[in-house]
Amino acid sequence: MGEFVRLEVEAGVGTIRLERPPVNALNQQIQQELAAVAQQAGDREDVRAVVIYGGEKTFAGGADIKEMAARSYVEMTSFGTALQETMSQVAAIPKPTVAAVTGYALGGGLELALTADRRIAGDNVKVGQPEIQLGIIPGAGGTQRLTRLIGPSKAKDLVFSGRFVAAEEARDLGILDEVVAPDDVYSAARAWAEQFVDGPAAALRAAKTAIDSGAEIDLASALRLETQLFTALWATEDQTIGMNSFLEHGPGKATFTGE
Residues classed as catalytic = 111, 131
- Number of Cβ within a 10 Å radius of residue 62: 26
- Per the CB < 8 A criterion, the answer to whether 138 and 162 are in contact is no
| Contact (Cβ atoms closer than 8 angstroms) between residue 92 and residue 209 | no
- Residues 254 and 245: beta-carbon distance below 8 Å: yes
Instruction: Tell me the longest C-alpha to C-alpha distance in the chain.
Output: 65
Cα→Cα distances 40→118, 120, 193, 195, 242, Å: 20, 23, 17, 21, 28
Q: How far apart are CA 18 and CA 10, in angstroms?
A: 17
Closest listed residue to residue 175, CA positions, set 198, 201, 141: 141
CB 236 within 8 A of CB 259: yes
173, 150 Cβ separation under 8 angstroms: yes
Residue 3, CA distances (Å) to 14, 31, 37, 133, 164 in order:
18, 11, 11, 30, 29
